[in-house]
Amino acid sequence: MQPDTARVTKTIYVLNGPNLNLLGTREPEVYGHATIEDVERMCRETADRHGLGLVFRQSNYEGEIVDWIQEAYGQQAAGLVINPAAYTHTSVAIFDALSMLKVPIIELHISNIHARESFRRRSYVSPVARAIVCGFGVNGYSLAITGLAAMIETKV
């Protein structure tokens, strides 16, 4: 479902990191049964409800994610939701790219990373994120977009 272009004035990016293309089949006891296509559909519906355009992407490659963050910067995106997956804990490159954005950034995780292995508690994204959503399953995407829409509207 495409957003009503007569209402859309701002575009947000939702970026997803490695292995999220396997949602629905990879560790469903942790990540649930929804697929990445289901998540994209939910994100589009939520963005449309808030009158936002949406760019939704997933990559297993760090450099491609950095390129998309730079694209969001160049396209003057209104905000960004990122589920960096494993790159959360390792990527200075993603941190550096996100640091240049002057718009709200929401860090998102499907599982509660703080209730898992200790290495998952260190995030290179959190210092540049306005907020963090974790532990709500894929419903966290809708929550993140709704929160981002409120931030954009009120320019918090």
Measured distance CA(75)–CA(17) in Å, rounded: 20
Tokens of 104: 């709200």
User: Does residue 31 have an active-site annotation?
Assistant: yes
User: Does residue 87 have an active-site annotation?
Assistant: no
Tokens of 18: 């490695």
Q: How many CB atoms lie within 10 A of CB 1?
A: 8
Q: Which residues of 33-57 are buried (b: 16+ CB within 10 A; e: fewer)?
A: ebbbeebbebbbebbbebbbbbbbe
Q: Which of 46, 30, 9 is nearest to 141 (CA)?
A: 46
Q: Which of 114, 97, 32, 22 is nearest to 82 (CA)?
A: 97
Point out the catalytic residue in the list 13, 50, 109, 124.
Answer: 109
Whose tokens are 């210092």? That residue is 127
Point out the catalytic residue in the list 13, 31, 87, 124.
Answer: 31
Catalytic residues: 31, 109
